[in-house]
Chain A
Amino acid sequence: MTAAAVECTGLVHRFGETVAVDHLDLRIQAGEVFGLLGPNGAGKTTTIRVLNTLLPVQEGSVRVFGLDVGRRATDVRRHLGYVPQQLSIEAALTGRQNVTWFARLFDVPRGERADRVDEVLDAMDLLAVADRRAGSYSGGMIRRLELAQALVNRPALLVLDEPTVGLDPIARAGVWERVRQMRTDYGMTVLLTTHYMEEADELCDTVALMHHGRLQTVGSPAELRAGIGPDATLEDVFRRYAGAGFDDHGTEGVRNVRRSRTTARKLG
């Protein structure tokens, strides 16, 4: 059996009376690209927020590279790179300042810091504009800058929460091309959520589908498609497990949709 980057066992998370994550068992192998899919309110963001230490582990166990998330939160954070759904850069600072700040937060040694910052900016094709204010960047550039921030500490686990929402197809392709390249270069594990099924199909080694806080199915995109029928797409798999009707369950629906819309609006 190969090594696990993330192991969730019996994870339950409640917001008051509502169960957002319901006895979730999940295993993400080290080095793979793992897609967590599901409709709004399925519990994806709650799951990500528990394993990246933003929410407490209420019930069950979550381990990231063998570290207990509940007890060793600071140590877990040293291994993470995180890109949230919102455009989360300091617009008043330059691109270089935005990345340097994160290099310092992750204790990148002073002697290596400038080179490391230049390296990730270069990898994201932002070196030429590094000294411009980030507020003047386009949507795709901002996303790449966020990736540079998340990658500057060479994380073992990169967590991407709908990183391409609102981006045009060229910018989306640019983001994924760079994620793939960094994964090849550094062998990191990538956990992502997305609503673009074709993206998940192309990028992910493994896909898990959540609905109503529960894990519905997990497997490689090819396995999941084959389970539905010979010409099935991942979207068919999504419809099978998440249903085609309107969802009136979940705790994060309004918040998530609002966040996605805000991000999409800012990206134009």
Chain B
Amino acid sequence: MSVAVARPRASWAEPVRLLAARTGTLGIVEMQKLRSDYTELFTRMVQPVLWLLVFGQIFSRIRAIPTGDLSYLAYLTPGILAQSALFVSIFYGIQIIWERDAGILTKVMVTPTPRAAIVMAKAFAAGLRGLAPVVVLVPVALLLGVGITLNPLKLIAAAIALMLSAGFFSCLSMAIGGVAQTRDRLMGIGQLMTMPLFFASNALYPIEIMPTWLQVISQVNPLTYLVNALRGLLVGAPANLWTDFAVLVGAAVLGIIGAASLMGKLVR
């Protein structure tokens, strides 16, 4: 005889409720962790500013990169914001492996929490971290004479694009973490991926001046679509925002599904 605590199967809406409620709960935990130590956010703000102040100003003077009607600094600023989102999130899998090693992930996975909620909360936290450089980079760019829009709707849309991309790259990192299993391996793979993703995008230079093979890679690189969206929204460059956002949303959804399906491997 068994104890009769078995309940009837829940309705189809229950998984949706669980996903939303658990993502909210884990998202709050991520924000509490972030609030407990701001050091990480401040340190992450330094590197993008250096890129703009040093790399940007030097390449502006060289005038080697054709950027149409935009100054090179105006062209570069959205690229640096996109780069920051990539660099913040591409090593996110290390955090999930650390949480596995510490037993925290295991414990959460024994609660009624969908794997996708764990991934979405991490992606949300990566998105928040990806936004941090904006706080410093935009004022610095304005001081350097870059004509960044102050239209709140466009700024919000740019923030959403940044969060979607940071979310995607963090999911990519977590998915690789599910395969790599150890922090050392993931660190190596992350470093192997970061530069190709960055240089095979239009963050620093237009796609048109790339060799053909690199152009093909950049067309399937989500970072290119983030840069396009940011340039369109922030500095008024021509952009196809529907396509850019469709790619970013699609990439984020695929990333969540991929990372969630590989998460179980981490605790086996």
Taking beta carbons and an 8 Å cutoff, which residues of A are in contact with B? Answer: 1-5, 7, 30, 49, 52-55, 63, 65-67, 72, 74-75, 77-80, 82-90, 92-93, 97, 101-102, 104-107, 133, 149, 156, 159
- Residue B110 at the chain A interface, CB threshold 8 Å: yes
Do B36 and A92 have beta carbons less than 8 Å apart?
Answer: yes
Contacts of A97 in B (CB 8 A): 29, 32
Interface size on B, residues (CB 8 A): 34
Contact with A along B57-73 (1 / 0, CB 8 A): 00000000000000000
Residue of B nearest to A1 (CB): B1
Contacts of B3 in A (CB 8 A): 3-5, 30, 65-66, 156
B225: min CB distance to chain A, Å: 34
Contact with A along B20-37 (1 / 0, CB 8 A): 011001001100110011
Given contacts A74-B112, A107-B21, contact A4 B103 (CB under 8 A): no
Contacts of A49 in B (CB 8 A): 267-268
Question: Which residues of chain B in 110-127 are interfacial with respect to chain A, using CB atoms and an 8 Å cutoff?
Answer: 110-114
Do A88 and B106 have beta carbons less than 8 Å apart?
Answer: yes
Given contacts A3-B1, A156-B5, contact A85 B33 (CB under 8 A): no
Question: Which residues of chain B in 62-121 are interfacial with respect to chain A, using CB atoms and an 8 Å cutoff?
Answer: 101-104, 106-114
Looking at the complex, which one of A30, A66, A88, A90 makes contact with B6 (CB distance below 8 Å)? A66
Residue of B nearest to A46 (CB): B268
Do A93 and B33 have beta carbons less than 8 Å apart?
Answer: yes
Residue of A nearest to B268 (CB): A55
Do A53 and B37 have beta carbons less than 8 Å apart?
Answer: no
Contacts of A75 in B (CB 8 A): 6-7, 112
Contacts of A88 in B (CB 8 A): 102-104, 106-107
Residue among A55, A85, A90, A159 with the highest chain B CB neighbour number at 10 A: A90
Given contacts A1-B1, A54-B110, A77-B110, contact A86 B7 (CB under 8 A): no
A53 to B25, CA, bound (A): 21
Residue of B nearest to A92 (CB): B36
Taking beta carbons and an 8 Å cutoff, which residues of B are in contact with A? Answer: 1-7, 9, 18, 21-22, 25, 28-29, 32-33, 36-37, 101-104, 106-114, 264, 267-268
14 contacts between A and B (CB under 8 A): A54-B110, A65-B6, A78-B112, A80-B111, A86-B101, A86-B103, A87-B102, A87-B103, A88-B106, A101-B28, A101-B29, A104-B25, A105-B111, A156-B3
Do B103 and A85 have beta carbons less than 8 Å apart?
Answer: yes
Looking at the complex, which one of B2, B18, B29 makes contact with A66 (CB distance below 8 Å)? B2
A4 to B213, CA, bound (A): 64
Residue of B nearest to A266 (CB): B102
A164 to B5, CA, bound (A): 30
A221: min CB distance to chain B, Å: 24
Given contacts A65-B5, A74-B18, A86-B101, 15 further A-B contacts (CB under 8 A): A3-B1, A3-B2, A49-B268, A53-B109, A54-B267, A65-B2, A65-B6, A66-B5, A75-B6, A77-B110, A82-B107, A86-B103, A93-B32, A97-B32, A156-B3
A91: min CB distance to chain B, Å: 9
Contacts of B29 in A (CB 8 A): 90, 93, 97, 101
Looking at the complex, which one of B18, B106, B111, B267 makes contact with A102 (CB distance below 8 Å)? B111
Contacts of A156 in B (CB 8 A): 3, 5
A249: min CB distance to chain B, Å: 20
Given contacts A4-B3, A87-B102, A88-B102, contact A53 B110 (CB under 8 A): yes
A195 to B264, CA, bound (A): 28
Contacts of B9 in A (CB 8 A): 72
